Chain A
Amino acid sequence: MIGNGKSQNKYVVHLTPAILIMIFSSTSALGGAREQAALLFNRINSVPPSALVLDAMAAKILAGDVRGAALDAVNDPAGMFYNLTLKDTVSRWTNKDATPRVDLNDYTATVIGMVRDDVLFNSAMSADLVYIADVAKAPGVPAYSLGNNAHYKFLETSGANLKNVLIPIKQSALTTTLPTEATAGLLTTRGFAAGFIKAGTNRAAAAFTFATFLCNDMNKLADTSRPDFHVRRDVTRVPGGDSAVFRNKCAGCHAGMDALAGAFAYYDVVAGATADSDALVYTPGIVVAKMNRNADQFPDGYVTTDDSWTNNWLSGQNAAIGWKGASYGAGAKSFGAMLAATDAFGTCMAQRAVQAMCLHQPTTARELAGVTKIAANFVKDFNMKNAFVDAAVTCTTP
């Protein structure tokens, strides 16, 4: 198709060293308005701009309105910021491997909708809200269900423009499974459940929520100074015959994590024939069996009897998270609201935005200053779209 094999080989060899040369000689933001416009559009939409859009954005930048140009890129009719950039970013939040190579689901779609509609993002883990497709704009789309992902898979395979087709709706109104009090925004989406509630002991639901929304994984949170009265029975107190290991290692995570994961005591996933047909179930008043299994490991350990949770990390090293909400509660909704009220939530969301726009974790002085500034603004309006726009400006300004 492209000439004989010999010719073809001549053109594709030596690419890797050449790519490295480009890294070293990066001129991605040379300072011209046109160059910044191109970079801004590319980072926001993950695709290049048309010549007309590039000209218009460059003119805006020349006039001193870089932020306006960034907003224009976000609002581009093709919707690639939502369909591509945001989808890629949020898809990584929905699975333990943090890979974007997963199908669109209700978790991702709901974040996309909330960003598009400027919904207060501190309600992301507590609202009775999910985004689904407007049937009028996506004819033939299967109904939303907590029992399968067909609704969102249809949108993805049909190439639906998520910027246009998504509409907000109360999750409790869509399904009889989840009453309002059982909804917790993203934490009670089928996508979240399939990723973090399926199998296991529901500890992953708490652990990955901390990792995603507070940018603190268990390695960072581990604190052996906290009381371990809430550690469940399935954690042996003498691993390898040495009780010191439990106290000096295991308890570091379990003391806080087990006390918080009780929030998910009534949630479970019924495995379907395929990952797409795993179903989220909610059993009010009945603790799911996996919360109390393997009781013989340490029969005197904590027994989960309801969906109450307690924050054992209020003091100690994790006080740095900046807790401002409740220190105890019941259910996923209050747990999510508690996390969204921390200082770490704002900082983490700013980091996520900067990482998405700079294409790497914030490391330079400029990027770190950008995170601080964006976080300060974010906690005033909890507007993720503004966070992304400001991050794009930070990452593309020479």
Chain B
Amino acid sequence: MRLPTKIGPAKSLMILLALPFAIQCSTAKVAKPARILSAKAPSSAIATSNQPPAIPEAAVPPTQADHQETVVVQANVGGNVVNNLAVQVGVRNFQAIHMTMSALTTVPTTNAAVAAAYVEHNSALPTETDVKSFVGSSQVAVFKLAAEYCNALITDASKSAAFFESINITDVPSNVFTAAGSKAISDILITKIWGSNLSTLPPLAQSSATLSALISDLLIGKTMTSKAVTTGVLVGACTAVLAAAPVTLY
């Protein structure tokens, strides 16, 4: 028996997409998968215990299993729900993550620092494209590789000038990270790394506001007259976007 469970795309997706920079996202606010599922589906549709759900078979048209937004939960006895999910999204594996970050930042994979980071961390990057195989250590490796790519981008004068276009990022923090400056930087990081005008992404304004808030957080206690701080904060903001799910998942 296959049980289709329609999940609303709105809030839970947005939480995820903004996750790497959603500072306020505490454990309590990031709802656990089973809870989100049960919020939209009849409680009996989710096999969270050894008891098989009591859904009439006639209510399960098999063609619904094809719908991209439909999560299929196979009724199971003693199994776990995640293993039985049919998912339509995958995770980029080690080589794809490396190449994708290179393409998005314009930093070549042969860059010495990036290449060294890849050698060091690639064994922790995913081997398979099955998103269910993605574990916490994979994300740590993604984050570290993203940090190297962003550092290479931000510290390369010509590449960063081309990436940030008319925005001057070589000045001190007090001049670069004004409200308007932070928003412009956030907009460009998000649109160039995540893409734009895609309904699969959260609204740009929302993402940009969250990233601007992250920039503000990173500036707390920092010397606002040091150009080194500008560089560090830019690398941090860039890393948050580059290591996020819209880049690693596809």
Q: Which residues of A contact B (CB under 8 A)?
A: 1-3, 7-8, 10-12, 14-30, 32, 34-35, 38-39, 42-43, 46-48, 51, 54, 78, 80, 83-84, 87-88, 99-101, 159, 358-360, 363-366, 398
A384 to B217, CA, bound (A): 51
Looking at A16, A20, A29, A364, the one whose CB has the most chain B CB atoms below 10 A away is: A20
Q: How many A-B residue pairs have CB under 8 A?
A: 191
Q: Using A12-B139, A46-B92 as known contacts, list a sample of 18 further A-B pairs with CB atoms less than 8 Å apart, ordered by residue number in A.
A: A1-B151, A3-B218, A8-B236, A12-B143, A15-B139, A16-B136, A20-B33, A21-B12, A21-B15, A24-B36, A25-B9, A25-B16, A26-B69, A27-B68, A100-B95, A358-B88, A360-B90, A360-B130
Cα distance A47–B82 in the bound complex, in angstroms: 26
Contact status A2-B232, CB under 8 Å: yes
Cβ A30 vs Cβ B65 within 8 A: no
Query: In the assembled complex, how far is the CB of residue A358 from the closest CB belonging to chain B, in whole angstroms?
Result: 8
**CB distance B214 to A46 under 8 Å?**
no
How far apart sit A21 and B87, CA to CA, in the bound complex (Å)?
Answer: 11
Interface string of B10-23 (1 = CB under 8 A from A): 00110111011111
Contact size class for B? 35 or more
Query: With contacts A16-B134, A16-B139, A22-B249 known, is A363 near B86, CB below 8 A?
Result: yes
* Interface pair A43/B250, CB less than 8 Å apart: yes
Central interface residue in B62, B87, B110, by most chain A CB within 10 Å: B87
In contact, A15 and B136 (Cβ under 8 angstroms):
yes
Asked whether A21 lies within 8 Å of B16 as measured between CB atoms, the reply is: yes
Q: Is B69 a contact partner of A1 (Cβ separation < 8 A)?
A: no
**Contact of A26 with B147 in the complex, beta carbons under 8 Å:** no
Chain B residue nearest to A46 in the complex (CB): B96
Which A residues are CB-close (under 8 A) to B88?
26, 28-29, 358
Q: What are 13 A-B contacts defined by CB distance under 8 Å?
A: A12-B143, A15-B20, A15-B139, A17-B33, A20-B33, A21-B13, A23-B33, A23-B132, A28-B200, A38-B195, A46-B99, A88-B95, A364-B86
Residues on B with C-beta less than 8 A from A48 are 100, 103-104, 195, 247, 250
Chain A residues lying within 8 Å of B65, measured Cβ to Cβ, are 364-365
Give complex CA distance A95, B210 in Å: 45
Q: Is the CB of B130 within 8 A of A24?
A: no
A18-B103 contact in complex given A23-B87, A32-B199, A360-B87, C-beta closer than 8 Å: no
- A366 to B65 alpha-carbon distance, docked (Å): 9
Residue on B with the closest CB to A366?
A: B66
Q: What are the 10 A-B residue pairs with the smallest beta carbon separation, nearest first?
A: A359-B90, A2-B236, A46-B96, A366-B66, A42-B250, A359-B129, A20-B33, A22-B16, A25-B13, A18-B19
Q: Nearest-CB distance from A48 to chain B (Å)?
A: 6
Among A7, A8, A16, A25, which residue has its beta carbon within 8 angstroms of that of B12? A25
- The reply on B77 being an interface residue by CB < 8 A is no
Chain A residues within 8 Å of B235, by CB = 1-2
Q: Are B9 and A3 in contact (CB under 8 A)?
A: no
Are A159 and B100 in contact, with the CB atoms below 8 A?
A: no
When chains A and B are docked, how far (Å) is the Cα of A43 from the Cα of B214?
31
Cβ contact of B68, chosen from A1, A15, A29, A83, cutoff 8 A:
A29
B218:A16 contact, CB within 8 angstroms: no
A398 touches B68 (CB 8 A): yes
Whether A34 lies near B198 (C-beta < 8 A) is: yes
B134 CB, min distance to chain A CBs, angstroms: 6
What CA separation (Å) do A28 and B17 show in the bound complex? 13
Complex Cα distance A47/B93, Å?
11
B-chain residues with CB within 8 Å of residue A26 when the two chains form the complex: 68-69, 71, 87-89
**Is B27 interfacial (CB 8 A cutoff)?**
yes
Given contacts A1-B235, A14-B30, contact A359 B130 (CB under 8 A): yes
Q: Are B12 and A11 in contact (CB under 8 A)?
A: no
CB < 8 Å neighbour of B23 from A2, A10, A38, A88: A10
Do A3 and B199 touch (CB < 8 A)? no
Chain A residues contacting B224 (CB-CB under 8 Å) are none
* Residues of chain B from 45 to 91 with CB closer than 8 A to chain A in the complex: 62-63, 65-66, 68-69, 71, 82, 85-91
**Complex CA–CA separation, A1 to B132 (angstroms):** 31
A50 shortest CB reach to chain B, Å: 8
Complexed CA–CA distance, A14 and B214 (Å): 17
Q: How far is B232's CA from A53's CA once the two chains are assembled, in angstroms?
A: 32
Chain B nearest CB from A398 CB (Å) reads: 6
* Contact indicator A14/B89 (Cβ below 8 Å): no
**B112-137 vs A, Cβ < 8 Å mask (1 yes, 0 no):** 00000000000000010111101110
Q: How far is the CA of A34 from the CA of B201 in the complex (A)?
A: 12
Of all chain B residues, the one with the shortest Cβ separation from A22 is B16
| Residues B236 and A3 in contact, CB atoms below 8 Å apart | yes
Rounded to whole angstroms, the CA-CA distance of A3 and B91 in the bound complex is 27
- Measured between beta carbons, the chain B residues less than 8 angstroms from A80 are 99
Q: Is the CB of B236 within 8 A of A365?
A: no
A22–B136 touching, CB < 8 Å: no
Which listed residue, A1, A7, A15, A34, touches B217 by the CB 8 Å rule? A7
**Interfacial chain A residues near B92, Cβ < 8 Å:** 46
Let me know if B200 and A35 touch, CB within 8 A. yes
What residues of A have a CB within 8 angstroms of the CB of B232 in the complex?
1-3
Task: Contacts A19-B245, A25-B8 given; indicate if A100 touches B239 (C-beta within 8 A).
Answer: no
A287, B240: Cα distance in complex, Å = 60
**A99 / chain B contacts, CB cutoff of 8 Å:** 127
Contacts of B16 on A, CB cut-off 8 Å?
A: 18-19, 21-22, 25
Kindly provide the distance from the CB of B194 to the nearest chain A CB, expressed in whole angstroms. Answer: 9
Contact partners of B240 in chain A: CB under 8 A:
11
Tell me, yes or no, whether B179 is within 8 Å of chain A by CB. no
